[in-house]
Structure 1
Amino acid sequence: MKLHRLVLANYRGIAHREIEFPDHGVVVVCGANEIGKSSMIEALDLLLEFKDRSTKKEVRRVKPTNADVGSEITAEISSGPYRFVYRKRFHKKCETALTLLAPRREQLTGDEAHERVRAMLAETLDTELWHAQRVLQAASTAAVDLSGCDALSRALDIAAADSGADAALSGTEPVLIERIEAEYARYFTPTGRPTGEWSAAISRLAGAEAAAAECAAAVAEVDDRAGRHAALTHRVAELARQRQASGPRLEAARAAAEQLAALTDEAREANLIATAAAATAAASAGVHAARLGLLTEIDTRTATVAGLEAEAAEAADELTTASAAAEACDSALENATRTLTTGQLRVESARRALDHLLDREEADRLRGRLAKVDEIRHERDRVCASLSAVTVDTEVMGRIDDAAAAVDRIAAQLASISTAVEFTSVADIELSAGERRVSLAAGQSWSVTATGPTEVDVPGVLTVRVTPGATALDVQAKYAAAQETLAQALVAGDVADLGAARAEDLRRRELESSRDKLTATLSGLCGDDQVDQLRERLAQLLAGQPGEPDVLTTDGCFDSKAARAELEAAEAARATAAAEHESRRLIAGAAADRCTEASTGLTVLRNNAATQRGELDVATARLARERALVRDEELACAADADMRAQQAAERRLAELNEALAATAPDAVTVELAEAAEATESLEERHRDASRALREISIELAVFGSEGRKGKLDVAETEREHAVDEHARVGRRARAAQLLRSVMTRHRDTTRLRYVAPYRAELQRLGRPVFGPTFEVEVGSDLRINSRTLNETTVPYESLSGGAKEQLGILARLAGAALVAQEDTVPVVVDDALGFTDPDRLAKMGQVLDTVGGQGQVIVLTCSPDRYQGVKGARRIDLHAVH
């Protein structure tokens, strides 16, 4: 197959693209990433494999997202004797058109065109080879599998026969294998599962056996029902006999249960009497015990009241003593408080006097500091005014210095290259040089340096013109420019010459130094404070001064030292008074606490005594009321009689419980329950057996009318026929399976034979790239297993990505070189060799050149420089075809 032309329209992001491919050689299609290089191969697959109305995801995802139009693909292809132009439009207004150019012109549309192209490709194209001959970005390092390519197999068969292989080939082996595969497909699926006739025979036999088994089960069911009928008849008779024998046991159990119930009722009544007697005895004993407790309570409360009254008298005496002591302590505390108040007032007065004196001293210091600040400020303002009148600043002085240096440097250069002309007179003479007049006496000399065109005139005799060379003229021009620059800088500084500029600059630096010193001094005087804040602080201090002094020395002047001494003495006196006051306060508090405690204790004792006296009166009145109703002796006698009645009732209850235990009530109950359960079980089993016997009799009557034995005979006959057919078809299926396995083994042996030609071709193409020691080991599936270089063998999976990529391309090129001319397909390389170094890139380019002469090699890349080594390649730039 050859691809002559490919046209895409509205395909993904491609509005329109048309590319023509030469029949032979390497074509390098280059373009930026995402420009649609890989999309061309994808589009060719969609064109050949899918109908125009297909809704599969492969077709849906190529529809452009920016326009509601259909994607169109057109290709001109040659395959075998056929050459045709094939076009499809997907998504909207779907259309398929085929123009057959050779062997005879023909036009088809729709599904008919699609099927015709499929038929032509099936006849002339090895699809496996077409897909195998692609090196895609996603699998460029994967080992290529060429084992399923029939075109390559045929070429290798021929190559193996030409190389003198032992087995001669007739050329009909592929046809025979196809017929064997077709025969095998009648009986088995590709995975080896039964299908077709063999599956039908297996299914028929399984169905016949299932039907025979079902009929046999039905006949066995009739036999089972007959046997169960006889067994149930015997069981019903046996259960009737057992039910009759269980009656006397149930009657005896019921009589024993009635006797047990009577004795139980009697014991329950005795238990009630014993309980009532116990309650009566407990009540009598409680009443007697309450009377005794009341007597004890009266005695206890009488003693308690007497003790509380004695304690209250003692507490009253203690309260009188504590009150007197508390009054004395309170008086002493008042005196200490007055002393402390006097000391506090003295301290405040002394501190106020000291604060006034300190403020006055600070105000004096601030006056002097502010006066100094004002003086320095005035001086700095004067210096700044003088500095502002100076016109030569740092920048201007720099310009003047630079210009003067340039003038001096160029003047020296000009002097070194200028011509000096000297005149010596032999008689008195007068010369003129420009506007200058020079008189020379006999024997006197005069010279002039010609830095520019210069004329010296001897009036009435001669005129001498001295013209410097071009270099001197250039330097002269630079000298004039430098002088102009210097003049401009002097004008900017408002000075006459360089000396005046330097004097002015020195004056400026001196003034700046004075200004900086004054500024530093001013900053030191002010510190972190602002001058306005200092003036405000001085005003506050002056406003806070009193009219008269608070502290005076002996000579009548203010004295902060005396004021500080007075403050210290006042604070010491206040501290002594405060300590005395605190001591008196603690003593007075303790005395008050003792007085309060004594008063509280007395109140509590009096309240307790009153409470106990009231409770004693209540208990005495209660005893009098109770004795008026029942005397103490009567309560004792009633309690004793009730106790004796309780003991008699408990003895009667114990006797009845012993009699009840002797009858074994649990055993009687269990026997009654077991007898009743056994009788009920026999009744239920007899009913169930009778019902089952009736149902089986009905089923046997129904079975007799179904003819199950006849159905079993028919099913067994069908099974025998199915067995015969299964054996007959099975022999054919196993024969086809055996023949296929033998031919497959033979084909594998043949593949091992033609691995050698493929390996030889691969090594021939690879040695220019890897070197003369390059060898490969190829398996029967034509996959590369290992590579050997310099007698070092490395498995394919252990090779680097670049080596794998190179071997993958060489394997496809070897296949393309081996297949017959009519079976050749394009080799597509999609942006490969990205892992390859420059040296091997050049060598791979030579191999591509070699194979490109036999067929088509299409290279898609975003880096065309990789393939510069392909000398005969035709380059197509996708930017030019958009």
Structure 2
Amino acid sequence: MKLHRLVLSNFRGVAHREIEFPDHGVVVVCGANEIGKSSMIEALDLLLEAKDRSTKKEVKQVKPTHADVGSEITAEISTGPYRFVYRKRFHKQYETELTLLTPSREQLTGDEAHDRVRAILAETVDTELWRAQRVLQAASTAAVDLSGCDALSRALDIAAGEVAASAAGESSLIERIDAEYARYFTPTGRPTGEWAAAISRLAAAEEEVARCAAAVAEVDERVRRHASLTEQLAELAQHQARAQHRHATAQAAADKIAVLTEKHHQAQLVAAAAAATSAAATKAHTERLRLRTEFDTRAATVAALDAEARQSADAAARVRADVAAADAAMDQAACVRAAAQRRAESARRILEQLGDRDESERLSARLARIDALMGDRDRVNDELGAVAVTEELERRIEDAAAAVDRARSRLALICATLEFTAAAEIELATGGQRVSLSAGESWSMTVTDSTAVEVPGVLTARVIPAATAIDAQAEYAAAQTELTAALGAAGVADLAAARRAAQQRRDLENSHEQLNAIIAGLCGEDQVDELRCRLARLRAGHSTHSDLAAMDISAARAELEAAEAACAAADAECETRRRVAASVAREFAEVSTRATALQTKVATHRAELDAVSDRLARERASVSDEDLAAAADDERRAAQIAERRVAELAEQLAAAAPDMAAAELAEATEQVEVLRIRHSEVVRALHEVSVELAVFGTEGRQSKLDTAEAERERAAGEYTRVRRRARAAELLRLVMARHRDVTRLRYVEPFRAELLRLGRLVFGSTFDVDIDSELRIRSRTLDGCTVPYESLSGGAKEQLGILVRLAGATLVAKEDTVPVLIDDALGFADPERLARMGEVFDVVGAHGQVIVLTCTPARYDDVQSAHRIELCG
């Protein structure tokens, strides 16, 4: 590529400028600061890369600030077989024009012109070299990277004795390998694309399996809680029965004490009455009148109490019948609840057996697939056993074939070729072979061993090759023998057959690895024998329940739900009946107690009435004081008897321990209440668990777990496949990078030689450099002192950077050259170095274009062949 002419109009602060450049040599373009020297490089880049209507920041920045006009750039360029004039206007009235001058004249405009120039540059210009061959003000001391320049690589290939097209082919292959590597890894080596997606999918599947397993475990926990609550409810029922019995016993004891208390009270009343009768003997007449009134009153009271006692007895009889009916209803509800529980247990067992049947079917299908894959693996093992070409034999054959090719090439280069041209008809004899030549006919032969050529009857000539040719022939024969032996050991006819057999072995090994991975994924953490034993157990259990074959698991679940609902309903009904029976029992106890109290009261009042009647009869019979005194004496004795009766009853009441009986009754009552509350809480908790289990039954948690586990298996298989491809791409990239580095090492020597040739013009004969495989300077040696590149001064770095670019410019082929652009460099160089750099510019200027932009042209006075262009503001 060569730049012949550049025209700028309204570009930043440049109103108009036109410069013509010579085809060869050093061009020094000089001018003051801010006159627009660096803008020329920027304009050339925009012309070749940006479209005329581009809105990029780089395009907007070049628009003049003092006028509303569009920036124009025109360049005349030649590259490869093309020479063209290219013009663009930006910002206003966008315009692109292309005029092709050679190889045939052609004119294009707009995007068509832009695309045509881009195609020409892509075809003929190494863009990486075009970018690298610049020394800019902002990066004049930065290290130069020429590793991506295909043109320089081709030139170094030729200089190193390689085929010129190999670098391009290798670069294309590396690009494809990098593209394949980028499908799976980021530039820093982290997973991306398919590989990251496979990792994420497997992680998500594992998380979903864990979540579904937790959900199923939650159902199991609720089932266990339901069973535990059911057991607690049964235990509470037993405790309640015992507490009710204790309460009834305590109540009976309390009733007995109440009777004793009442008798004691009645005895006290009798004693008091006797005392009162004795005291009132003197007031017989008055007492007789009071006794008549009292008799009438008590008689009425006794009649009323007797009627009330009969009503209470009738009510107690009726309530006793209700108690018997409530007890019968409670017993019937208990039977219904027991039947519902038996039905639920049966439905639960059937559902578990159907689950075992389904698991048996899934396990059978899984084992069938594993058996099929193991059969395929055995077949692959058999085929692998039939392949005789091992990796060691493959390497031996490849090495032997390479040795044969090298020996053949060396033999062809070293051996002499004899050519005979007959001036007249003649016959030649060599090695038992006779060759007849007519006049003007030619015949040739390659001499690899001592050979005699005879013209019968005329002369005999013996050609003895040099020792080097004989050694080469022996080396070639040995290589052929080794290749034949290696092919024989592998049991193949030739190199192609050996490669096919080796490829077949690798394919079979890959298939074997894939089958092992799939079998491992299907088996998971279980062994195949364990799976078979488990299937046998499931089938054995299934065979004992052959009547379940026609049953549907959904019907079994529905039956279990119905049975559990019936069981819950029976529990509720049983509890209702129990509460009714308890209520009726309490009512019966109250009515019985009331009837007993009324009967006791009637007896007491009747006794009192009888006493009053006796007293009245006795008083009526009394007509004298003696009779009255006798009556008083009788009454006194009766009072004493009554007092003894009171004492006896008091002793009996104390022996019955009324305080302890009351405490026992209170404690038994409290226990009954506590158990009732606990029973209600357990019933409520059992109902809540039953509702939760009913909701869980509609969610299909087990099926979700099965689906999640199947997805995990698929994700694991995909993960294994993608990982194998990703690791293969990574390995291939590493191998190719290593190969590329080895190849680039061959580039280093010719590049280093050219850099030494130019560098010694500047630094002297002791100058030496160390170049890495990326064609970067690692260290510089001068006068026996080696300094790393990073530790060099700014001037030395800048001078070496220019030398590297100039060395690259001299090495590339003529058709691949691009202009070397140097923007205001060598500001750090001393006068002696400037003079020597001028010699280097003179040497390189003969090979191509070197364009120097500077505000200090005196730096380049020592460049004898320089063409100078002055820029005016």
Which bin holds the TM-score, normalised by the shorter protein?
A: 0.3 to 0.5
Please, what TM-score do these two structures have when normalized by structure 1?
A: 0.46
Structure with max Cα Rg: 1
